[in-house]
Amino acid sequence: MKPEGVGQASWEAALSAFEQAIGSERVFTSDEDIALYRDAYSPMWGEADERLISAAVAPTSTEEVQAIVRTANQFGIPIYPISTGKNLGYGGSAPNLSGSVVVDLKDMRSIIEVDDERHFAIVEPGVSYFDLFDYIQERDLKCWIDCPDPGWGSLVGNALEHGVGHTWYTYRDHFASHCGMEVVLPNGDIVRTGMGALPGSKTWSDFRYGFGPDMDGIFGQGNFGIVTKMGFHLMPQPDAFISKKVRVPRRRDIIPLVKITNEFEYGGILGMPIYESPLTQLQAAGDEELGALMDSPEVWHNDSLDLLAASRELPFWECTLQFYGPREGIYANFDFVKDRILAEIPDAEFVDLEELQFPLSQEEQASVRHKVAVGIPNLNIFSVSARSRTNPNPGDGHLLFSPVIPRTGTDLLEAQQIFGEALRGSPLASLYTPFTPPFTWLHRCFALACGFPISRSDPSINAASRDAMETVIRIGAENGYGEYRTPPLFQDLVSSTYSYNNHALRRLTETVKDAVDPNGIIAAGRNGIWPKHLRERRQ
């Protein structure tokens, strides 16, 4: 395959130029090599519309990236930068535009600086969370990473995707905790943002804004350049960590519970609260009594599920409360939070989970209950997703729907019903129920996320998931719930839902795109931003 609209002579000349710039061993065109960049969670796996690349190039330096970009401009080659290509559920390493050349930044792996007095790191895009974690551990530095689950992705790639993690407050908003970038622009020029624009700056990784407009935002979920360095603020290693679980008996107890946890998280006392419901296990096990109750549309309004939970001696909701800081202080904080919860939910119950004091030995790290809560990257989540009695049809992966809803219990209950009723009667109706828990990755909102199954052997599963995804995207937007992130196949649709004032935001981004990348070579179509010559492709 070669990129559409590129003549054979131009294509061969471009490949030759890539090889001249970075070495032939770093230019990949064989079918076997190209297959390595397929999205393992593609909802179009094996179908005609699966997004596939034409080639890949793997530079090792900013200068090589510049050479690639200049070549791409010269010959009109669409390029698609990836960091470590682990964006599973959101497109992986596959581009929006088939035939693009992937610019694989995995070998730009320098950890440029880590400072555990000012608590920052500067890294290149090929640095994974595992890499930085090991770097910090080997040097006994007193700072933490915040990583997603699984932790094999790139700090730069994840942050640019607006990815999220699991530790304390803003550290888990990875783009918010970045500070400064170096970017190769579509014309091959290099820009450093924030204080990095001042030659010899001593605060590039301390003060994000620099002077004048903050341009960093356009590179997050954007296609205006290739980021080659990025700074991150790191959480200081705390003295201790404790986690407790609170159990509440009724569905509507979530309302006061969320109100209290919000107050304490935003006030700096509580870490990321994690909401769960034991009823999801009953559902996954095919509980007939639960199934019968769920068949009624009245299930959203009556107390039938409360009664069921009580009869099984199960709480309706559980919430893991996590505290970081000096040991004596966090126990005092927990007591305060507990008293507040009991004042509003007198029959709430509390369970001890874990206490840790830092630093941890390697053996202690291995036995941590929830590793990402204390900044330890791991791949445990893939075994959780394996087939089990409570997960009988795990699929080969998932398509992530990630709507943002207000962080209140009332809004949660309403959104569950909206999405649940939207899918009623479909094979995926079970994904939204009165006990679907919200995710708190976004520290000021809920993400009422779910994973629609995908299959690498059964296209009908993928078709059903695609249909469901389109349904919930539209229904969500109609109700004021936009997605914060979505796979390439749905990026045009999601982009179209952000339509205020005749799609003014999209018109603005297209104006910037046309100015910064007039040949439209970088990541065409990413998040609905198409270059001028391809704009009619928008779905």
Partner 1 sequence: MLAFTAIPFYNLKTEGLAVEVAAPDAFIVDTRLSPIRSELSNIVEISGDIVEISGDDVAPYLYRRLVPAWREGGFAVSGVTGCDALFCIEQAARAFGLRTIRSTPLGTSNLRGAGEGVPGSLSTQSQELELEIVSWLIAPNAA
Residue 309 half-sphere exposure toward CB, CA atoms < 13 A: 21
Contact pattern for partner 1 over residues 449 through 488, marking x by CB under 8 A: xxx-------------------------------------
Distance, in Å, from the CA atom of 80 to the CA atom of 103, rounded to the nearest integer, reads: 6
Distance, in Å, from the CA atom of 34 to the CA atom of 86, rounded to the nearest integer, reads: 16
Distance, in Å, from the CA atom of 217 to the CA atom of 232, rounded to the nearest integer, reads: 15
Is 354 a binding residue for partner 1 by CB under 8 A? The answer is no
Distance, in Å, from the CA atom of 524 to the CA atom of 281, rounded to the nearest integer, reads: 42
b/e burial code for range 414-430 (CB count within 10 A of at least 16 → b): bbbbbbbebbeeeebbb
**For this structure, is 41 an active site residue?**
no
Binding to partner 1 (CB under 8 A) within 162-181 occurs at: 166
What minimum distance in Å lies between the beta carbon of 32 and partner 1?
Answer: 5
> From the list 8, 9, 30, 117, which residue makes contact with partner 1 (rule: CB under 8 A)?
30
Is 351 a binding residue for partner 1 by CB under 8 A? The answer is no
Nearer to partner 1, 213 or 394 (CB): 394
Is 76 a binding residue for partner 1 by CB under 8 A? The answer is no
Q: Which of 41, 90, 169, 275 is catalytic?
A: 90
**For this structure, is 172 an active site residue?**
no
Distance, in Å, from the CA atom of 360 to the CA atom of 366, rounded to the nearest integer, reads: 9
Is 361 a binding residue for partner 1 by CB under 8 A? The answer is no
Is 446 a binding residue for partner 1 by CB under 8 A? The answer is no
Distance, in Å, from the CA atom of 308 to the CA atom of 324, rounded to the nearest integer, reads: 36
Distance, in Å, from the CA atom of 392 to the CA atom of 285, rounded to the nearest integer, reads: 8
Is 367 a binding residue for partner 1 by CB under 8 A? The answer is no
Contact pattern for partner 1 over residues 125 through 164, marking x by CB under 8 A: -----x---x--------------xxxx------------
Q: Which of 169, 484, 506, 526 is catalytic?
A: 484
Contact pattern for partner 1 over residues 214 through 233, marking x by CB under 8 A: --------------------
Nearer to partner 1, 401 or 530 (CB): 401
b/e burial code for range 280-300 (CB count within 10 A of at least 16 → b): eebbeeebeebeebbeeeebb
What minimum distance in Å lies between the beta carbon of 83 and partner 1?
Answer: 10
Amino acid identity for residue 424 in this structure = R
b/e burial code for range 335-361 (CB count within 10 A of at least 16 → b): eebeebbeeebeebeeeeebebeeebe
Identify whether the C-beta of residue 156 lies closer than 8 Å to the C-beta of residue 230.
yes
Contact pattern for partner 1 over residues 320 through 349, marking x by CB under 8 A: x-----------------------------
Q: Which of 251, 407, 485, 526 is catalytic?
A: 485
Distance, in Å, from the CA atom of 261 to the CA atom of 409, rounded to the nearest integer, reads: 11
Q: Which stretch binds partner 1 (CB under 8 A): 234-242, 391-399, 455-463, 468-476?
A: 391-399
Is 32 a binding residue for partner 1 by CB under 8 A? The answer is yes
Is 512 a binding residue for partner 1 by CB under 8 A? The answer is no
Is 271 a binding residue for partner 1 by CB under 8 A? The answer is no
Q: Which stretch binds partner 1 (CB under 8 A): 216-224, 257-265, 434-442, 514-522?
A: 434-442
Residue 371 is encoded by which pair of tokens? 């590793």
DSSP string computed for 434-477: TTPPPB--STTEEE--EEEEE-SS-HHHHHHHHHHHHHHHHHHH
Strand 101-104 with 55-57, pairing: parallel
Is 110 a binding residue for partner 1 by CB under 8 A? The answer is no
> From the list 187, 281, 430, 497, which residue makes contact with partner 1 (rule: CB under 8 A)?
281
Is 427 a binding residue for partner 1 by CB under 8 A? The answer is no
> From the list 2, 51, 70, 86, which residue makes contact with partner 1 (rule: CB under 8 A)?
86
**For this structure, is 484 an active site residue?**
yes
> From the list 367, 382, 515, 533, which residue makes contact with partner 1 (rule: CB under 8 A)?
382
Nearer to partner 1, 388 or 410 (CB): 388
- Contacts of residue 497, defined as CB under 8 A and 6 or more positions apart, other chains included, come to 473, 474, 476, 477, 482, 483
What number of chain residues touch partner 1 (CB under 8 A)?
Answer: 56
Cα four-point dihedral sign 175, 180, 182, 183? positive
> From the list 1, 366, 508, 515, which residue makes contact with partner 1 (rule: CB under 8 A)?
366
Distance, in Å, from the CA atom of 294 to the CA atom of 290, rounded to the nearest integer, reads: 6
Is 280 a binding residue for partner 1 by CB under 8 A? The answer is yes
Is 352 a binding residue for partner 1 by CB under 8 A? The answer is no
What minimum distance in Å lies between the beta carbon of 389 and partner 1?
Answer: 5
Residue 111 is encoded by which pair of tokens? 């950890």
Residue 475 half-sphere exposure toward CB, CA atoms < 13 A: 19
Question: Which residue do the tokens 């599963």 mark?
Answer: 461
Distance, in Å, from the CA atom of 239 to the CA atom of 247, rounded to the nearest integer, reads: 27
Question: Which residue do the tokens 């007193």 mark?
Answer: 142
What minimum distance in Å lies between the beta carbon of 94 and partner 1?
Answer: 12
> From the list 73, 158, 378, 509, which residue makes contact with partner 1 (rule: CB under 8 A)?
378
Q: Which stretch binds partner 1 (CB under 8 A): 205-213, 447-455, 486-494, 530-538?
A: 447-455
Identify whether the C-beta of residue 9 lies closer than 8 Å to the C-beta of residue 74.
no
Question: Would you please indicate which residues are annotated as catalytic (active-site) residues?
Answer: 90, 484-485
Which residues of this protein are in contact with partner 1, per CB under 8 A? 28, 30, 32-33, 35-37, 40, 84-86, 88, 104, 106, 130, 134, 149-152, 166, 274-276, 280-281, 284, 320, 366, 369-370, 373, 377-391, 394, 398, 400, 437, 439-440, 449-451
